[in-house]
């Protein structure tokens, strides 16, 4: 299968530089917002398959990849959500489909709650649902910081096996190549936000329809969380990727695209699945 990757480019929005990768170029617009330590390039294998039906753009969230970074930036959830709406405005996208994973899904929920006119549909992949007074996020901050520091020091990719033991060599090599671009302040603020930012109010005010995909083995969204979100956001269809951990496309690529395709009424054919 030939690659659907077209090019990377930058967009000035919300006062900083945003880097995006474009795949496909055909079909309706789709923006991918990755998770806490996932630069855009690490979502390439997902974007390649999404591009069978969408004009896919993958965002480097500030403090990651080739987007603006540095200790002077605000990495709070409100700033990240404003980034997304500002990027959509800069691209002149109306009613876009936005797929967010983990932190990216939290960003998408808050952004869509604040500016629903820019969003046509949300595809939320296992967002952390912590907040004030709720249980802690299952992955400790050190898990992220330690892996970043190892790769920033130029350690071999094999060092990442203990952090992601089920990943393939190709997945680990790519992560090793780009993990050093994740700003520690950005990661720490995002992780703290999993505990301090309340997105449940954003779920309650959502008017944008969409999908909530839950990792059956992730431990991030439990049954009681899913029930609460169902009450708050009845416009979100819930599905469970029973055989996957939190990194659903990495753990069960075929299952991820099967569930996504069922919701979108589309057929996806991932090359590696």
**Per-residue pLDDT tens digits for 138-187:** 999 999 999 999 999 999 999 999 999 999 999 999 999 999 999 999 99
pLDDT grade, residue 234 (50/70/90)?
very high
Pairing of strands 55-59, 16-23: antiparallel
C-alpha radius of gyration, the chain, whole number = 17
What pLDDT is stored for residue 111 in this prediction? 98
272 pLDDT higher than 90: no
Cα–Cα distance, 239 to 172 (Å, whole number): 28
Cα–Cα distance, 15 to 6 (Å, whole number): 26
Residue scoring higher pLDDT (120 or 271) = 120
pTM reported for the whole predicted model? 0.98
Contacts of residue 226, defined as CB under 8 A and 6 or more positions apart, other chains included, come to: 212, 214, 238
Mean pLDDT along residues 56-70: 98
What pLDDT is stored for residue 154 in this prediction? 98
Mean pLDDT along residues 68-82: 98
Cα–Cα distance, 38 to 41 (Å, whole number): 8
1 pLDDT higher than 70: no
Q: Which residue is it, tokens 């059956």? A: 216
């Amino acid at each position: 299968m030939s690659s659907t990757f077209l090019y990377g480019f930058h967009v000035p929005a919300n006062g900083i530089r945003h880097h995006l990768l474009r795949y496909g170029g055909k079909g309706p617009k789709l923006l991918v917002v990755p998770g806490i330590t996932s630069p855009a390039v690490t979502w390439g294998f997902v974007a390649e398959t999404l591009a069978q039906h969408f004009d896919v753009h993958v965002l480097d969230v500030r403090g990651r990849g080739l987007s603006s970074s540095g200790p002077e930036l605000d990495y709070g959830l409100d700033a990240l959500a404003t980034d997304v709406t500002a990027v959509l405005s800069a691209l002149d996208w109306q009613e876009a489909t936005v797929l967010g994973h983990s932190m990216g899904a939290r960003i998408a929920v808050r952004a869509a709650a604040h500016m629903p006119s820019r969003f046509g549909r949300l595809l939320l992949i296992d967002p952390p649902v912590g907040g004030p007074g709720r249980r802690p996020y299952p992955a400790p901050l050190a898990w992220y910081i330690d892996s970043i520091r190892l790769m920033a020091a130029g350690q071999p990719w094999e060092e990442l096996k203990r952090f992601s033991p089920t990943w393939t060599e190709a997945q680990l090599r790519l992560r090793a190549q780009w993990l050093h671009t994740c700003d520690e302040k950005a990661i720490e603020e995002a992780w703290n936000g999993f505990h301090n930012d309340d997105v449940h109010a954003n779920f309650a005010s959502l008017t944008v329809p969409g999908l909530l995909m839950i990792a059956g083995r992730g431990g991030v969204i439990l049954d009681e969380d899913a029930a609460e979100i169902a009450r708050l956001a009845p416009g979100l269809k819930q599905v469970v990727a029973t055989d996957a951990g939190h990194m659903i496309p990495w753990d069960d690529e075929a299952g991820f695209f099967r569930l996504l395709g069922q919701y979108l009424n589309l057929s996806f054919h991932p090359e590696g699945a």
